[in-house]
Structure formats: structure tokens, C-alpha cells
Chains A and B, each alone.
Chain A
Amino acid sequence: MKGILGILITLFGVITISAQTLDVKGTVLDEAGIPIPGVNVIVKGTSKGASTDFDGNFILKDVSVGSVLSFSYVGYVTYEVTINDNTDLNVQLQPDVAQLDEVVVIGYGTQTKKEITGAVSVVSNETIEKLKPTRIEQALQGQVAGVNITTNSGSPGGGSTISIRGVSTNGNSSPLILVDGNVVEDLSVVNPYDIESINILKDATAGIYGVRAANGVILITTKTGRKEMPLTIEYNAYGGFQQTTRKIPVLNATQYGVIVNEAYAAGGSTPPFSDLSTLGIGTDWQDEVFESAPIMNHHITLKGGKEKSSYSFSSSYLTQDGIVGGKKSNFTRVTNTATYNLDFSENFKFKSGVTLTGVNSQGLPENALGSVLFNALNMAPTIPVRDENGEFSLADGLGAEVINPIAQMANTYNRNKVMKINGFAGLAYNFLEHFTAEANIQFNYAEVSSFSFDPIDYYGGGKVFNTLTNGVFEGFNIFRDYTFDGFLKYQNKFNDVHNLNVLLGISVFKTTGMFSGATATDIKNNDIRYATVEQGLNQRDIYVERGSNPKFDGRLLSYFARVQYDYKGKYLFSAVVRRDGSTRFGPNNKFGIFPSGSIGWVASDEEFMSDINTFDFLKFRASYGVLGNDRIGDYRFVSLLTGEGTYFFGGNDRENEVFGIASGPISNPQIKWEKQKTLDIGVDMRILNNKVDITADYFKKRTEDLLVSPQISGLLGTGAPPYVNAGIVENKGLEFAIGYSDNLNENFKFNIKYNVTTLKNEVLEVSGEDEYLEGGRFGISQPAISRMEAGFPMGYFVGYQTNGIFQNQTEVDNSAVTNLGARPGDLKFVDQNGDGVIDLNDRVNLGNPIPDATMGLNISFDYKNIDFSAYTFASIGNEIVRNYERNQQLVNKPIWYLDRWTGEGTSNTSPLQTIGATSNTDFSDFYVEDGSFVRLQNVQLGYTFSDNVLNNDKISKLRIYVSANNLFTLTKYRGYDPTIGNGAPIGGGIDNGFYPSASTFLLGLNVKF
């Protein structure tokens, strides 16, 4: 019997028997026990059938004994039951988690999973609810093959970088993200609980989005009510605390004293600590900086529907302090969403939704030289937090950037406030039986205000952060955009076997905005309470005064067509063509045409397969297409007077400042969009009675005409280099996902899902020969360490390869090569070109931040009223650069420097400590670490109270749970967090004292009324 999975049936009531036929009646309920109206109940093999009414009831008269009743409803597993003597049925339908008729959103339409010919992955709201993400990206990590997430910052509200099937461009490589058709750049404003599903278009299927599709497309749909649905209220809440996952072990005061003395001696100076015995343990600056921080979330949803309409309303409140800085890095988000759908008539329908979002956030300096964690790691343990007068201790002698991190936090005042309204409205009209016309409009409007106050402060002699004149900044930016989509669909079935779907449409996108900001100095009493521009002196507008244009206007005009055809649902074909016009390109290259196509073959539907029972479902598919990328700045095809040219006449005070006019970025009228040729070959199958679901894909993406901004001749001046279409990047790999779900018995069901993606990224060409683009900084004033260069992965690290440590002077002397002033105990750099000199030409590939493979493993099981789930993901083969050591004479160091070289034979990996001239601090593989990891992202244990325990008509479901996010990470990486990223294709994977993702421990509640 098919579809038994997850179905409970209870028989009760009076059994009525008649000779040949029976009258059957019953109620159909959803998984939560709520009646489902509109369920099709059909006597199989006949035309006899009925639909359930508003209360989920149905009646079928004269049903033959032995016939089979089929209950079907979109989104639920079809349930069948044979009628013997059972005349009063209480059927509970189960939602289908990975069903073949699951609806997949593919852009301007939907398809069932069975019909899909592209590589499309879906993350359901169930997963999102389990993971309790504060940001959507966290729900994607490890869930979907081919999607990799790196964290830009673990601070509350901190962003992530999503890359779909590798890094295919040197520019902005994030996918296009549409929430109900609305372009969203900043996902922090979206409440994950409002999401119904996330659909990820990974291959040429994304071609329907043309010039913006090359990095993949993420389509997010939000929750809405259902017709004929009684009012249901859900309330979810959790609260808990967050902790750092790790502290980097650093030297305590005594160990520090030993190493510093040794370094001074080695550098020919007098050791500063004459009596080590007085130093003790000293200050643990990380203990001072990290704290346990609360997090709390409330979310309420109301949903319902009448005969012709449905509605929903939801409201959420999230507040989260930071594990560094507590309230000083608080993130608070409030969302309110309402949707309303109305059928004016059978064939004229309306839908709408609106969301109001408010975000308040604060932040601290992070992941940079002189950031809070950087300072906590480098601050000397011999210095107390406060001196004997109770003032914050100064950090004298620790270089210009390392300051007391506690003082730094106390003096940091900033806040960022986002007020956003976005929404959509759409009309759909069915006519002439096969046609549907749809018009949808989506809009976003956001006001972002920012504030910072930089008080007068003093951290020690020569610190760059010393402030003599306090200053305040207030910024106010407005962002607006709208998307209008209008399209016509034709759908018909010919001769019962030829299915045809045609889509013709236009899409218009316009984004505009305005920036404003002002600064002032000399805030009264150096007091935050007086810190407004209005109350300061030297008030300045940062845009108008300079004559710079604070507005932008970007537009996109698109026409698209799609044809989908299948023969008996067995041979599938789809083709898309889109023409896009973008304001980012000049008159000659404004418009681009993006074709793509895909085919599929449902082999399991073939006659000859019917005898082969191995496969419940087997489909082969392939897609190919050309996708675009236009993500560069506006107006780079024309030379504009946006340059800086300020000078002073008659003195050097503010009134003497004159803002001149000069050319801005260098223009190139020839630029056009990047072109990505993308191929996907995949197979979907289900075996073992649909218990095992497998999807495998091979992909190859070749991005050509990359929009690179290469080095250009200085004769052209200092304007930002023009974009040119040059360069090729290739990403290829395999994706494999397998799911296994089963019910061992009535009380125990489980589900295991695993996915793995391998990726090979290679830059094949960069503008000219021997050319490379570079980025990424290491130490102070050292050459850039990240490159995009032909023959290497995007953003690979270039530096010296080491070969142990010089053990004695003879070894130094006999060495054919000597780096500057090499001495015993120094790192041996390899003379790659054998020219007898170690110089920058000897630098080689030391790894790259792109993982070779990523994978996710999700396990869940339900036993009676208990549910358990665990989510893990892993990243293998990515490297991280350790760049949180300041290399100053008196700074602290990680504890592994206890294993330093102290004489012949003592170490062949860790060089001697010296304050003298050394090239050990030059970027070499000594600073590159393996960033592979496995992380237990979420473990959750829940208990759902049984109905008889609840014994309450009002509450239909009550569940409590405990959950732990980011519980542990297995990695060899010694820094805070190996998920580090920064979104930059060139310059990613460099750890400057990264704000780690917190471990979160939650206690939560789900109630349904």
C-alpha cells in the first residue's frame, strides 16, 4: 500500500453494513488535527468523488465494498483506503516532506518536483523552524548541496556570504535573492519564521532571471493563509543565552614575561622583566572581553481563510546581545507581516502582502587591526584592566594600534536603525480556459539611519585611536525599489499526452535612493547625551557641501519567454529566453539576450522499467544556458565628474576649504555583462519503496567576459580603474544528496539526510598575460596576499613556502639563499626560482579559502511524543590566514609560541622570538592554517503534549524543546571560528581577530490554538 508513510487512521463510530454498497462519510484533518477543506476524495477507477467541506467533512454514497478511496490534497501525501466495512473515516493527512508532487517555485511559476528539469533545491519551513536561525542564511548552511555559507561576522545581525556552486566572479558573487518577488540585499531584515519555503535555482533554470542570474537565484516565499481554513493561532517563543565557542589560548603573564625577555635578549636589548616571579597569571583579556549574552525571540502568527479569501498576520520580536560587548553589539528586530488573498471570482484572483520591519543594531570594531578581539589577543597580560586610580589602563609600548579593549568598548558609541516597508500585490485572471494573465508589483522602501559618537579619549602614547576632538556623525539613507512583472501563461493538454505551458512576460525593475549625512565636533562635556550634530560645532554636510551627488537610479527592463513541454510527463523539455536591458551598460551594450534550455526523462515511467522494481522513481535531466551578471557600480561606461579635488585658499580652516571638481572613475564605454555558460547533468531517484531519495548532479560553470577592474597605466591617473570584460573562471563539481526516512513502527519514525558537494574552482584567464588582480592584507605594509590569477583558484594566497628552521649558523652560512639577516632560529624560505635570493618572486600558492568539499548531515527522529534532531555540516580543504598577531615587542602571543625555537634542535616549525629585525613576520605558510571543520550546528530535543494530557479545546498543539546551536566544531584551525568569510572573492579567509559565531542554548515553546 502506497503512501502509508506517516498516516494515522482511527476507526470509530457505528458500522453500518449493507449488501453491496455502503455510504461512507468522514473528516479529513491535517497533521495538527485541523480540518482541511477542499480535499479530493475519489473512488479509484470511477468518476465518483467529492470534496471536503469547510469542516473537512465529506459524504460519498453507494460506495462498493472493496473499492479504494483516494484522499489527495496539494502538499500532502495522498492517502488510500480500501472500503470493507468502515463507513466513518477520520483521516489525518501528513504533509509530504520530499514528495514528487511537491510544488517547486521556479520563477514566474511553479512545477512539481517530478516535472522539474533543472537543479533546484528546496528548504522547507520545517527545517527553518528546527534550526531557529536569526538569519535565513543559517538555515541554508549544510542543508542544500552546492550552497556554501561563510560568516562575515558572528556578531548579532552579522552578515553571511552565500555562494552557490563556487565563486564564479571576482565581483559581487552573491546570488540574486527574491522574497515574494522582491529583491532583497540585506537578509537581516527578514524574519525566518515568516518563510514558507526557500527554492534555490542552481543551474540554467535560473536563466529566467537573465542578467542577474549568474550567481544563482534564491526564491523565498512567505507564509500565507489557506481558503476555508478556520482561524489558527500559533505562538512560538524561545529564550536562552550565547557563549563564545572558543577562546584562543594565549600566554599568561609569567609565560609572557619569559618570552618577551627572550625576544629582547635575542634582539640585543635589555629584557624588560627583571623578576618573573612577581608576574603571576595576570589579566586574561579574553575573559574580560567575552561574556554570556541573552537572546530572546517571540513570534505569533494568525492564519485563516473563508470561502473566497485567506489571510495571515504575523508579528515577531528578536533581541540579541553580543558575546563581545553585550548591549554594545545588540541587535533587535521587529517584524509585522500581513497577507490577504481574495478570489473575486473563480478566475479572477488577487493576492497581497505587506511587511513592516524595524531593526536597531549596535556594533564594535571587529575583524581588523585594532578591533576589540584583536586587542584582547595582543594586549599584555601584565597590564590590569584598570590602574590603581580606577581608570582604564593605558597600553603603552604595544605599538600604535593595540589598545585596552575594555576601554575601547566603553568608548564605542554607534547605532544603526533600519525602518523598512515592503510588500507585493498581484492580480491573476484566467480566461479562455487555457490562459492566465498575471500582474504583480513588488516594492521595498527602507530608511536607514546611522549614528556614531567618537568621544575624546586617550589610550596611551602614539595610539592611532587617541581622539583629541570628539566628533559625531549622523547619516540618513533612503532606498526604494519596485519590480513590476506582467505575464501571460498558456497551459493546455493535447490528446491527453502532450502537455504544453507557455509563458510570455515583461519585468521592470527600478531602484533609487538618496544618501545624506552630517558631522559635527566638540560635543559638550564629551557626553553621549549631548551627542547630536545639532548640538555640536563645525557642522558639516558630507554630500551637499562637496557638490557630490547623493542619489542613485538603476533600472532593468526585461522580456522573457518560456516554453515547457512534456509527453505523458515522461519526456520533459523546457526552454527560456530573456532579454534584459540594464542602465549599468552603455548604449551599445545595454541589452543582452540570455537563452537556456533543459530536458528530462522520467525513466521509471517507461514500460520496460515497470518490471524493474528497484526504482520507485528515476529521472535523468540536463540543462544548459547562458546567464548574466551586471553587478558593478552604476555609470561606469561614462566619464563623470565625481572625483575628489579639495584645496585650501587663504588659510587652512574650514571656511578656507574649496571643493573642486575632478573626473571620477575611469570609464570604459565598451563594458557589457558577464556571461556564464552553465551545464548541469543530474539524476533524481527514489528507491526502497520511496524510503530513499537520491539526487546527484554534475555541474560546470564557465564565466566569461568577467567584469574585472584591472591594473591600468598610471598615465590615466588615479581614478578607479575602468571595468573591462576580460577573464574566465571555471567552477565544476559534483553534488550528491541522499535522504532516508522510515517508520520503524507506529511510535518511531526517523529521517536522515546527507549531502556533499565537491568543487574545483580555477581562474583560466585574467585580462592580460601574466596579469593578476590582488587584494587581502597581511600585517602592516606588506604586499597583498590574495590573488586572482590564471591557473589558480580565485583568491588564492601567495607567499613564501618554508622548509623548517635554520638550526645553526653553519646551516645559515651553507644555505644558498639567505633572507634578510637570517640567523639560527629563523624560518627557512624556499628559493623557488633558484636565483640565490629570497625575494617576492619566490612567493607561491599557499592555499585558498574555497573548500574542496562541503557537506551536511541531518538526522531526526520522533519517538512517541519526543522529537530529536541534529544538524551538522562540514567544510574540507579551505585554508585560513592567521593575521591576528601584531608582532610588536610587548604584545601577547598565542600559547603555541611556548614551543618556539630556543636553540639547535628545539623546534623545526616555530621560529625564535626576537624583537630584532626578522623576516619571520613576512607572509609565509607559517601563517596559513587548514580551515577544514565539522560543526554540530543544531541539536534539539522536543516534547509534544498529547491531546489527552492537554485536555483543552483551545490548544491543539503544545510543544516544548531545548535546543543548542553551534554546540561544537571539530577543526585543526587554531583561531576563533573556521567559518570565517568576508564576501570578497579576492581577500577572503583572512582572520584578523574574527568575531566568532556564538554557541546558543535555547529553551522554547510552540503553541497552536
Chain B
Amino acid sequence: MKNLKIISNLFAFLMVLSCSDTFVDVDSDDQNSETFFNTEEDYQLALVAAYDYLQTTAKFYQFAEIASDNTLCGGESATDSPYIQEIDDMIHSPSGQSDGGLRTMWQWMYEAVNRCNYIMEFQDKTDFSNKTSVIAQTRFLRAYYNFILVKWWGDVPMLVDKRIQFGDQFNIDRTPKEEVYALIEEDLIFAAANLPYVQSETGRITKGAAQGMLGKVYLYQDKFAESAEVLEDLINNGPHRLLTPTEYPNMFERDWENNIESVFEVQYSDVDGGSYECFQCLEGNYSVYFNGPRGFVDAAEKFDSGYSFNVPVQDVVDAFEPGDLRYETSILDMEQYIIDNPGSSWSGDGYEQTGYFNRKYIARLGDLNIGDPALTNPDNYRALRFADVLLMAAEALNRGGISDTRAQDYLNQVRNRALLPSVNTTGTNLTNDIYKERRVELVGEGHRFFDLVRTGRAAQAIDGFVAGKHELFPIPIEEIQLTGNRWNQNPGY
């Protein structure tokens, strides 16, 4: 009977111990997203995550370059990454909009916007002294991401100050792009007003970055007066200048990251490895390796090999005037390079190869190469250069009929730095000279396609471009389906 007692006691004990349903109520050790933002650090950490998606924009600048008349898709073969070829060929099949292509890019930008809105949603929860700065940086980032969305897709769902939850996606319409632009302007004005020209850490958004982007956003809407005003404010009062002709060849080198000409720069690093499993998690700039020559063995030990995408065409090579300082920095001519650097070789194979490569953004040797060397290059993307600011200011002043004199001055600053003579044209001729200069100054940096589109020159310049259709990319077909088929597709698709 003693045993019976032991057993029954044991049972009773175990019943008490385990029979309560609360046994399966367990909270994760991970933070719950609803109960965050209790300290300044929480806000700062959420802000870091909002910055993180700047790194995904490598795909946007690379694809925009491929979409333009500057480069061809390239790659390994006719079946290598069809979704990139379709960007180049202005064909946008449903599958080409899927993985890795337009749909992925759409997802990334909305993740980015959501990360900003997560901070905005809880902006009033906890007070601390640096909050205005945090909100200003957040709003710049939201504007930067939203600007990408309107550039690529026009009217896009505009998400404001609130994350969207699973289920909400069926009740969201596309917002007219004018309204999205209005929010972008507000965000950038707030950022410009509340951030310093010089931050203690490189990589942080500055007043200059906000002003430069605001000027660009105005220019995209042909708001020339507003554009000129903010850009000239930046030119006159900001800390930036052009690199000198002697300095210029270093513009895109690793030792010259975040230099004085760089107004806004996306930071990449080689310290963290990476894999294809999570492209948006990369800390490296994948595009520079993808832009590089296949099987490249560089006797000068400067350049790494690559996957031969985004190859410049003869037309853009010919666009450089003789004596242009920028040519050597912009275009890598393999034939010439191998002659100049005996012992170098490259496989020469691949799809749509021209023998030219985008020298600004191809991988350099000498980084850590941890993990996959293709995905872990530390080369920063100079998202907004002072040369761009000067050319935009020139364009706004000229096209807005404000001052061709000042426009000439800004244009010639850029030309003289490239060791080219000044121009003294006015009116439309000056406009064309500015356009011409933008192409060669900014080649390889992903601006050309949208410059052609916003100035109505795309159809004549780009093979396969249909006016009235290709100004915008199609909303990824799956995105329309997955939000309940409530959006109309962009015209022509």
C-alpha cells in the first residue's frame, strides 16, 4: 500500500505540474514588434534597419543602367537571368517580373518604406533629445525609397506612418504619383531643415543629401524654380565641391569613399559574407562583381573577375569627347587593358559582350572576400555626386528660363574638371549640351534611363522603347493579383 501512496502522490504532483493549459503559453525570447520603442536605442536600432535597405538599391541603379541606351544586359548566356535581359530588351513578361526581377525590387522598396513607417507609427511613444534627428533621417529614407517607387512605377500605393499588417493588402489602392511626390517633398523638406550639413559619422544622411534629392525630385516634376533654388542653396552654402582633375581618377576607388564630392553615398562592406539565399541581407555590393569581366586575370592586380553583365555599348564610348578625363575612369576597354597590362587575360565569353565594362563599378581586388566573393564587395555607391547637383542646377536654371549664365557656369565647372573646354551655348542648345554632359558624367551610375524618360527622349534613344508605355515599368502582375486585382496595370502592358 505504501507503493500505491507513492504512485498516487507522484501522479498528483505531475498533474499539478503539467496539467495546466498555461504550460503551452510561452513567450518568445525575441522582442515583440508591438512592445518596442521604449528607449532612444530602440529608435536608433530601428533606424539602422531602415538604412539597411539602401544597400538593396544596387539592383536599381544596375538595372536602370541596363534599361538605358548605355549598356546591354550581358551575362553568361542567352538563358542567364532572363529577367535582366527583359529589362534591357523592354519586354516584360509575367515571369520576368517575378523572382529577382521587378517583383523582387517592388518588395524590397515596400519593406524599406515599412521599416520607415514602423518608426513613424511609434514616433510619439517615447521622448528623447535626438528624436528630431531620428525622424528627419527616417523621413529622408522614406522619401528616397518612395522616389524610386514613383520613378519606376508611377502611381504606387502610398503607405504613410503605419506598418501594414497581413490582411491589409487587399484594401490599398494606387495613389496618384502627384500625391506621392507631395509626400516625398514634405519628407525631404523636413529632413533638410532638421539635419546638419556635416554628420559625425559618414554614411549618415546630411542636409546636403536632403537638399540634393529635393532638387532632383523637383526637377523630375519640371518644377524648375524650386529645383534651382534648393540646389543653388546647396551649391552656395553646402560643404561639397568637385574633386580636382588630379583627384578625379580616384572618385570610385575604395580609399576615396565618402569624399567631398559625394553628397549621398550608400555604404557597403566586405566584412560579413553573404549568400544568394537572402539577397536583401547582403552587406556587400553585388552589382560590382556582376558588372565585371568573366574569367578576368588582371596582371596589374587591380580588378577582380565578374559575371559580365551591364556592358557599355560603342555608342556611349563614342559619346566621350577626345581628351575627356572621365573616359579612363568610366570605361574599361579590355583589349586596350590587356595591351597595357601584359599577362592579363579574360575568358572573353559570355552573352552580348562588347569588350567594354563599367569601370566605375566593377569589383576591385584586395577585399576580404569572405563567403561568396561575388556578393561581398565593399564598394560604396555614390548615389548623389556634386557633379550631378551642378548639372541638375544648370538644367533647372536653363529649362526654367531662370539664368543661362549661371547654368553655363555650373555646366562648365563640370566640363573644366574633365579637362574639357567651356561651352557658351544658350537656350535649347545649352539644354542639349547639359543633357550630353549628364550622359558622360554619370555613365554607369544608373541615371541615364530616367533622364531620358523625364525629358521625353527615351523612345528615340532606346531600342524597343515604346512612347506612352515604357516610361513606366509594369506593376508586377503577381502584385496586382495578390492584392485582389484592384489595380489597373500601367498603360500599354
Tell me the A residues contacting B by CB distance below 8 Å: 344-345, 348, 396-397, 399-400, 427, 429, 431, 437, 439, 460-462, 464, 466-469, 471, 484, 486, 506, 508, 521, 538, 547-549, 551, 553, 555-557, 581-583, 587, 590-591, 634-635, 638-654, 656-664, 666-668, 711-719, 722, 779-784, 820-821, 839-841, 887-889, 915, 917-919, 921-922
Contacts and interface: CB of A to CB of B under 8 A. Distances in A.
Contacts of B99: 783-784
Contact of A662 (B23, B52, B270, B365): B52
Contacts of A722: 166
B272 A657 contact: yes
B28 A557 contact: no
Contacts of A551: 29
B48 A663 contact: no
B24 A581 contact: yes
A662 B32 contact: no
B10 A439 contact: yes
A716 B164 contact: yes
Nearest to A719: B111
B71 interface: no
B24 A462 contact: no
B382 interface: no
7 contacts: A397-B295, A590-B25, A648-B283, A650-B200, A662-B115, A663-B163, A821-B78
Contacts of B11: 437, 439, 486
Contacts of A921: 77, 79
Interface of B: 3-4, 7-8, 10-11, 14-15, 18-19, 21, 23-26, 28-34, 36, 42, 45-52, 54-55, 76-83, 93-95, 98-100, 103, 106-108, 110-111, 114-115, 118, 157, 159, 163-164, 166, 168-169, 172, 200-204, 257, 267-272, 278, 280-281, 283, 294-297, 305-307, 345-347, 349, 351, 365, 367-370, 372-374, 378, 380, 476, 478-479, 482-483
A900 to B, nearest CB: 18
B354 to A, nearest CB: 16
A440 to B, nearest CB: 11
Q: Which of B81, B164, B346, B373 has the most CB of A within 10 A?
A: B373
Contacts of A431: 4
B62 to A, nearest CB: 15
Contacts of B79: 779-782, 918-919, 921-922
A663 B77 contact: no
Contacts of B107: 714, 717-718
Contacts of A397: 295, 347, 349
| Closest 8 pairs (CB-CB, A-B) | A645-B49, A660-B48, A462-B305, A717-B111, A714-B107, A660-B49, A917-B78, A662-B49
Contacts of A427: 7, 10
B114 to A, nearest CB: 5
A939 B214 CA distance: 79
A673 to B, nearest CB: 13
Contact of B351 (A429, A667, A917): A917
Q: Which of B48, B172, B476, B479 has the most CB of A within 10 A?
A: B48
A675 to B, nearest CB: 19
Contacts of B368: 468-469, 521
Given A581-B24, A820-B78, A711 B482 contact: yes
A718 B269 CA distance: 22
Contact of B295 (A462, A553, A644): A462
Given A431-B4, A649-B202, 14 more contacts: A437-B7, A461-B296, A468-B368, A555-B23, A581-B23, A638-B28, A644-B280, A653-B271, A661-B49, A717-B107, A722-B166, A781-B80, A840-B94, A921-B77
Given A469-B370, A646-B272, A654-B271, A712 B80 contact: no
A466 B373 contact: yes
Contacts of B365: 468
B122 to A, nearest CB: 12
Given A462-B305, A652-B257, A718-B108, A429 B46 contact: no
Given A462-B306, A652-B268, A781-B100, A716 B169 contact: yes
A484 B25 CA distance: 18
Contacts of A650: 200-203
B45 A484 contact: no
Nearest to A468: B369
A784 B52 CA distance: 28
Contacts of B55: 647
Contacts of B45: 547, 645, 659-661
Contacts of A468: 365, 367-369, 373
Nearest to B115: A662
A491 B372 CA distance: 64
A469 B94 CA distance: 41
B87 to A, nearest CB: 13
Contacts of A484: 14, 18
B56 to A, nearest CB: 9
A652 B269 contact: yes
Nearest to B28: A635
Contacts of B4: 429, 431
Nearest to A463: B305
Contacts of B305: 400, 461-462
Given A468-B369, A647-B267, A715 B157 contact: yes
A471 B370 contact: yes
B271 A649 contact: no
Contacts of A399: 76
Nearest to A469: B368
A664 B30 contact: yes
Contacts of A557: 18-19, 21, 23-24
Given A649-B204, A712-B166, A662 B24 contact: no
Given A645-B49, A662-B52, A345 B3 contact: yes
A553 B48 contact: no
Given A644-B278, A653-B269, A921-B79, A508 B30 contact: no
Contact of B482 (A439, A668, A713): A713
Contacts of B483: 713, 715
Given A581-B24, A646-B272, A652-B268, A661 B166 contact: no
Contact of B269 (A345, A461, A582, A648): A648
Contact of B21 (A591, A657, A666): A591
Nearest to B23: A557
A715 B159 contact: yes
A652 B282 CA distance: 13
A464 B374 contact: yes
B98 A783 contact: yes
B482 A660 contact: no
Contact of A464 (B94, B347, B373): B373
Contacts of A820: 78
A437 B7 CA distance: 8
B148 to A, nearest CB: 13
A348 B372 CA distance: 62
A663 B169 CA distance: 17
B52 A644 contact: yes
Nearest to B308: A462
A461 B372 CA distance: 14
Given A647-B203, A718-B108, A640 B347 contact: no
Contact of B380 (A344, A506, A652, A781): A652
A716 B110 contact: yes
B18 A660 contact: no
B153 to A, nearest CB: 11
Contacts of A659: 45, 48
Contact of B307 (A400, A553, A646, A713): A400
Nearest to A400: B307
B24 A652 contact: no
Contacts of B278: 644
Nearest to A267: B349
B169 A652 contact: no
Contacts of A429: 3-4, 7
A243 B30 CA distance: 48
Q: Which of A582, A650, A718 has the most CB of B within 10 A?
A: A718
